[in-house]
Structure 1
Amino acid sequence: MAMPGAPTRPAPTPQAGSADPAAMPGMDTAPGDHGTMRMPAAFGPHPMAREASGTAWQPDASPMQGVMRMAGDWTLMGQALLNGVYDTQSGPRGDDRLFASGMVMGMATAKLSSRDTVAFRAMLSPDPLMGKRGYPLLLAAGETADGRTQLIDRQHPHDLFMELSASYSRRIGENASVFVYGGLPGEPAFGPGSFMHRLSIMDSPEAPVTHHWFDSTHITFGVLTAGVTKGDVKIEASRFKGREPDQNRYDIETPRFDSTAVRASWNPTRTLALQASWARFESPEQLVPDEDQERWSASAIYTRPVGRGGFVALTAAWGRKTEIEADGQRGHGLDAYLLEAAVKPDDRWTLFARAERIDTDELLPLPGRVHGPAFTVGKASVGAIRDFRVTQGMKVGIGALVARSLTPDGLDPAYGGDRTSGMAFVRLRIG
């Protein structure tokens, strides 16, 4: 099974500190990989590279890397990505902040037989160290700082425990399987893989303002997913806890299976991954517990290797969320559009960019409410990181990005004339 959405460059020969894939028993040969041996995929008889965060798919051509070891019948893989960021957001709603973000991940996978595979996954984050209010991010909104205060123009910190999950799959044919996945926390079957795992933007430390349309479910305290794969098609459904994680970022919350998600995925070629999904959330927001929510999403991810260790990666996505009042009355659908791109010409440089447009009613909430008038806003960012290899399995990078927020006339008094923001960061990457 691939590291959840943690693709980097493939190694043409076994690397120091990594297990030799060709020497690993029970490995599958991925179609089109010219005999390159791979770890067993967790959810079916397909290339390990296809598996991203949760049970989401990415293109089969996604490069992979991790520190690997064999322990008996188990294949172990680990990776760490840690950022130290200086963030400056301009205008009357902006602020400056130093913070740490990132993730440390570990996996254990074993083939119990020629048909049966089990996998365990853990992912931790340093985000809680930044405090309950997170970091300044113009146009972002969602969740709460302390159980009472709505976060606006700030990105909330993620929980210490981002994923603790287990899965089991069984082949039911030459190219078909059934699987179950459970997490506390975990990620239900909705949207593309989460932003911090998408190859098209994972080098950026800035969260997307579309986060609560596509992938805010990547930390869900209680997920059960069942699915079936056949060739390049996957159908799956989840029952999960609809409520967003609370302001206590270090705990494990009580699971509750009150919400539903359904996703269809198709990888028509090695370079393309498509998905469409629907979800009904029960009481997702702590500050408006009487409101439910419906979401739709569709996305396309394209990845193509370039040169020696390089790639081009693109993600295009659309999402819609609709609030549902306690009496069943539905609000207007709020749409979000996302385009991300990354170009890595070699092992040293990565260039990345993101463009977003959202309909949001949370930037100017009415007194005593979470929602207010709806506005269409946008944001564009571009950045780069230069990596320096320290050892075969470790790199240190220095990067920066600049972003521009786009708001209509009705928001000009709130955001002022200067809409430019930026981040400078250093990154440690292991694996």
Structure 2
Amino acid sequence: MPRLTRPTLVRALLCAFVPTLAHAQQMPGMDMSQTPKDTMPGMTMSSGTLGAYAMTQDASGTAWQPASTPMQGLMWSSGGWSGMGHGYADLVYDHQSGPRGDDKTFSESMLMATAQHSAGPGTLTFKSMLSLDPAMGPYGYPLLLQTGETGNGTTPLTDRQHPHNLLMELAGVYAVPLAPASSAFLYVGFPGEPALGPATFMHRFSAQDDPAAPITHHWLDSTHITFGVVTAGVTHGPLKVEASLFNGREPDQHRWGFQPLRLDSWSTRVTLNPTRDLSFQVSYGHLHSPEQLTPDVNQRRLTASGTYNRAFTGGNWQTTLAWGQDRDSPGDGEPGAVLNAWLLESALAIGPHTIFARAETVQKNDLVTGSNAAAQVSETTLGYVYDIPVARHVALGLGIQGTVNYVPAPLRAAYGASDPTGVMPFLRLKIR
């Protein structure tokens, strides 16, 4: 077994951030959907990060997705290390209509890389994810009916999507085989993603081509960037059970650097992948003071989701159905709001063509300042992307999406007499 020495560790970290420095191979042409027969002991990059299963089953953090999901990115190997890299950069023109709408041209991006090496009886994996989203400014981009976090530390973001942080994940995972179909793992991140909710929307095939974040984001996967997380778990065949200690506070308006390390919240998640095409999860978490502007309010979050993926010659189809519930616990002892959200999204890719759709409905009580009354708001989105190869592992996508937002009568005075709409034409460079 190769020794884990300081020179090889330095090389791995460099390769994790600049995967093109090492020899790369295109992932879509490789069959990674079956679990290798010789992965115990000493799992390889053709196995999953947490155990001996198909690497295509890994999603964001320690989340799972269906094993038949296509893996888009570059594979590399060097000096006993192996890994992969994936990323995209979008240039988006955003038009949101109505009295609370706005226009903006912005860029959003993500670069993800991993490096893996045998270490003792198990496997060590380093994970990194970066974004240049802070360059769009602390107020993010216009997105009707979106809420959560702040752009200036004094007022909440409403009808806008916050930018993601420069550092979205810097984490390490150590997994040890327990039996031919079982393993134990420890995940440590600063920042990282706890075991709460489905795979983050940027990593779901059913959502990744939509340039707009879901308005259910803060009911399902908003904890995907937390400055301090420790997750321990076990896998046994199609089952994964895990628990996390993490920092419950959402990132503040300072998106370029690190934020205080805390482990004041907890969560647990059970995931079942009964077939290669299906993945289900149920999770529960207690978030300590998640919102900067309401520090005395804690939150309990319950989520459940299922994802179906179907790969076929020349294409792929994936659909995700998810439910989330946020239950606030104000510090004054009074009962807090109980708010529910539903999401249904799907993407169909055939050759260079991708069609995606999303439908959401969510109860929100923070769309109008001074009112705590919950309002049921909804939206439907339809979009299309056409990919043009521009280099060996890079494609240029030409896309557009349109959204219709539905607001109840009590919000008509704020949003206008007719249902407001949004449209986002965009260009995308993607590593594939």
Deviation at 1:29, TM superposition (A): 8.3
Write the mapping of 1:31-430 to structure 2, written as runs, cut at 5 A.
31=35, 39-112=46-119, 115-308=121-314, 310-346=315-351, 348-366=352-370, 372-416=372-416, 417-430=418-431
Q: Is the 8 A contact 1:17 1:393 kept in 2?
A: no
Deviation at 1:246, TM superposition (A): 0.9
Q: Is the 8 A contact 1:403 1:420 kept in 2?
A: yes
Q: Is the 8 A contact 2:36 2:52 kept in 1?
A: no
Q: Deviations over 1:186-231 (max 9, x none)?
A: 0000000001111001011010000000011010000000001000
Please give the secondary structure, in 1, of the residue aligned with 2:272: strand
State how far apart, in whole Å, the 1-side matches of 2:354 and 2:173 are: 33
C-alpha change, 1:38 and 1:121, in structure 2 (3 Å) is closer
| Length-normalised TM-score, structure 2 | 0.90
Residue of structure 1 in register with 2:12 after alignment: none
What fraction of aligned residue pairs are identical, expressed as a percent? Answer: 46
| Paired AA for residue 60 in structure 1 | A
State how far apart, in whole Å, the 2-side matches of 1:296 and 1:49 are: 26
State how far apart, in whole Å, the 1-side matches of 2:333 and 2:271 are: 30
Deviation at 1:102, TM superposition (A): 1.8
Deviation at 1:391, TM superposition (A): 2.1
Q: Deviations over 1:45-87 (max 9, x none)?
A: 1111111000000001011132222111100311220000000
State how far apart, in whole Å, the 1-side matches of 2:391 and 2:32 are: 29
Deviation at 1:17, TM superposition (A): 6.1
C-alpha change, 1:17 and 1:392, in structure 2 (3 Å) is farther
State how far apart, in whole Å, the 2-side matches of 1:29 and 1:326 are: 48
Residue of structure 2 in register with 1:30 after alignment: 34
C-alpha change, 1:304 and 1:218, in structure 2 (3 Å) is same
Q: Is the 8 A contact 1:18 1:66 kept in 2?
A: no
Please give the secondary structure, in 1, of the residue aligned with 2:219: helix
Deviation at 1:365, TM superposition (A): 2.5
Please give the secondary structure, in 2, of the residue aligned with 1:405: strand
> In terms of mean alpha carbon deviation, does 199-208 or 67-76 score higher?
67-76
State how far apart, in whole Å, the 2-side matches of 1:342 and 1:311 are: 8
State how far apart, in whole Å, the 2-side matches of 1:261 and 1:316 are: 21
Please give the secondary structure, in 2, of the residue aligned with 1:185: coil
Residue of structure 2 in register with 1:12 after alignment: none
C-alpha change, 1:314 and 1:325, in structure 2 (3 Å) is same
State how far apart, in whole Å, the 1-side matches of 2:153 and 2:26 are: 49
State how far apart, in whole Å, the 2-side matches of 1:29 and 1:92 are: 49
| Length-normalised TM-score, structure 1 | 0.90
Consecutive unaligned residues of structure 2, counting only runs of 5 or more, are: 1-21, 38-43
| Paired AA for residue 77 in structure 2 | M
Deviation at 1:383, TM superposition (A): 0.2
Deviation at 1:20, TM superposition (A): 8.4
Q: Deviations over 1:82-128 (max 9, x none)?
A: 00000000000000000000201111011235x40110011111110
C-alpha change, 1:333 and 1:136, in structure 2 (3 Å) is same
State how far apart, in whole Å, the 1-side matches of 2:52 and 2:313 are: 28
Please give the secondary structure, in 2, of the residue aligned with 1:269: coil
State how far apart, in whole Å, the 2-side matches of 1:350 and 1:120 are: 31
Q: Deviations over 1:318-348 (max 9, x none)?
A: 00001101144332310000000000011x1
Deviation at 1:43, TM superposition (A): 0.4
C-alpha change, 1:57 and 1:29, in structure 2 (3 Å) is closer
State how far apart, in whole Å, the 2-side matches of 1:375 and 1:240 are: 30
Residue of structure 1 in register with 2:9 after alignment: none
Q: Is the 8 A contact 1:29 1:38 kept in 2?
A: no
C-alpha change, 1:17 and 1:401, in structure 2 (3 Å) is farther
| Paired AA for residue 383 in structure 1 | G
| Paired AA for residue 332 in structure 1 | A
State how far apart, in whole Å, the 1-side matches of 2:375 and 2:68 are: 38
Deviation at 1:38, TM superposition (A): 5.9
Deviation at 1:420, TM superposition (A): 1.4
| Paired AA for residue 55 in structure 2 | M
State how far apart, in whole Å, the 2-side matches of 1:167 and 1:226 are: 10
Q: Is the 8 A contact 2:35 2:52 kept in 1?
A: no
Q: Is the 8 A contact 2:279 2:308 kept in 1?
A: yes
Please give the secondary structure, in 1, of the residue aligned with 2:251: coil
Deviation at 1:374, TM superposition (A): 0.8
C-alpha change, 1:68 and 1:32, in structure 2 (3 Å) is closer
State how far apart, in whole Å, the 2-side matches of 1:122 and 1:372 are: 39
Q: Is the 8 A contact 2:402 2:421 kept in 1?
A: yes
| Paired AA for residue 211 in structure 1 | H
Q: Deviations over 1:149-172 (max 9, x none)?
A: 110000001111011110100000
Residue of structure 2 in register with 1:3 after alignment: none
State how far apart, in whole Å, the 2-side matches of 1:70 and 1:29 are: 19
Please give the secondary structure, in 2, of the residue aligned with 1:40: coil
The size of the alignment, in residue pairs, is 403
Q: Is the 8 A contact 1:239 1:257 kept in 2?
A: yes
